[in-house]
Structure 1
Amino acid sequence: MTRIIADISVSLDGFVTGPDPGPEGGLGAGGDALHTWAFSDDPEDRRMLSEGTARSGAVVLGRRLFDVVDGPDGWNDEVGYGAAEVGTPSFVVVTSAVPERVRRADLDWRFVTTGLPDAVALARERARAASSERGKDLDVVLMGGGVTVRSALDAGLVDALVLHLSPVVLGAGTPLFTGAVPRTLVQRKVIPTSTATHLFYDVV
């Protein structure tokens, strides 16, 4: 069964970027520290990354995050979703306008201008198609940014939440939960590593 999984790195004080993120600023001041775990040699961190990308039949992201990952300092053959791990999934971008050009035209980008629920529905279709091709259940992963993940949680679109809690205090940036609709979470796993604490919840 295809599930909708929100999966995002967050600081101890609840931010998913540092101050001033953007295409040229990346994840903002200090924001790169949130993803230290993804480049770690810790075996458990490697397993988290491998298992997370292997389950991804489609990935949803917001336009601001797309502008970062497809920007001049964004993803390349060595750094990116699933790089050196698995074949890359479809990427569904929630946006008000389709970009005029895409730098990483080798990736399967789909742009949805009719809202987040439609983007998640398209991603579910893509994940189910990928599941049939690979012969195993694959999920939709909401990778961010923070507004996209929070909006999906608020709208009741998320089945599970995975937080990679990084041992860093950013002080400012993009908050994950400010003003969020109250939700009940059921804790399923907690995996501490040398660089992060990986938290797994079902959303009920």
Structure 2
Amino acid sequence: MTRIIADISISLDGFVTGPDPSPEHGLGVGGEALHTWAFSDDPDDRRLLREATARSGAVVLGRRLFDLVDGPDGWDDTTGYGAGEVGKPAFVVVTSSVPESVRLTGLDWRFVTTGVADAVAVARERAQAASSAGGKDLDVVIMGGGATIGSAFDAGLVDVLSLHLAPVLLGSGTPLFTGTAPRTLVQRGVTPTSTATHLLYDVL
């Protein structure tokens, strides 16, 4: 079964970037601390990253995040989604307009201009096709940014919420949840490591 998993790093005070994010500093001031776990040598951090990326049949992201990862200082062969861990899942971008060009032409990009629900539907189709081809269940991972995950969560599209709680207070920045309707979560996993506390919830 293909699940829709929202997966993102977050500070103790609820921010997924630091203050003043920009094209040059996508995570804002101090925001790099949110992703320390993803580059650590802690065996549990490595295992969780490997397991999460291995189940990715398609990945959804917003246009602002796409512009960062496809920009001149963005992803390359050694950095990026699941670098060194998985193959190349399909990437589905929620955007109001299709970019004129793409730098990372070696990745499978789909651009959806009709909203997050349609983007998730396209990603589900891609993940299910990859599941059939590979003979194992793969999921859709919504990797961000915060507005994209928040919109998907508010629309009731998310089955699983995976948070990587970084031991940092950013003070301000991009919040993950703003005016979210009440929602019941069922805790499925808590894994403390040297760099973060990894939290897994089913969304009811």
Q: How far is 1:22 from its partner?
A: 2.7
Q: TM-score, normalised by structure 1?
A: 0.98
What is the alpha-carbon distance in structure 2 between the residues aligned to residue 93 and residue 59 of structure 1?
A: 9
Q: How far is 1:126 from its partner?
A: 0.2
What is the alpha-carbon distance in structure 1 between the residues aligned to residue 55 and residue 23 of structure 2?
A: 28
Cα deviations by residue, 1:102-147 (Å, 9 ceiling, x for unpaired): 1111111100001111000000000000001111000000000001
Residue 18 of structure 1: aligned partner: 18
Cα deviations by residue, 1:145-204 (Å, 9 ceiling, x for unpaired): 001111111000000000000001111110001211211100001000000000000000
Residue 59 of structure 1: aligned partner: 59
Cα deviations by residue, 1:32-64 (Å, 9 ceiling, x for unpaired): 110000000000000010000000000000011
| Map 1:2-13 → 2, pairs under 5 A | 2-13=2-13
| Map 1:161-176 → 2, pairs under 5 A | 161-176=161-176
Residue 115 of structure 2: aligned partner: 115
Contact 1:21 1:29 in 2 (8 A): yes
Q: Which amino acid aligns with 1:70?
A: D
Residue 32 of structure 1: aligned partner: 32
What is the alpha-carbon distance in structure 2 between the residues aligned to residue 64 and residue 20 of structure 1?
A: 14
Residue 129 of structure 1: aligned partner: 129
5+ residue gaps in structure 2?
none
Q: How far is 1:72 from its partner?
A: 1.4
Contact 1:117 1:157 in 2 (8 A): yes
CA RMSD of aligned residues (A): 0.7
Q: How far is 1:26 from its partner?
A: 2.0
3-state DSSP class of the match of 1:16?
strand
Q: How far is 1:23 from its partner?
A: 2.0
5+ residue gaps in structure 1?
none
Q: Which amino acid aligns with 2:13?
A: D
| Map 1:36-47 → 2, pairs under 5 A | 36-47=36-47
What is the alpha-carbon distance in structure 2 between the residues aligned to residue 27 and residue 178 of structure 1?
A: 18
3-state DSSP class of the match of 1:49?
helix
3-state DSSP class of the match of 1:19?
coil
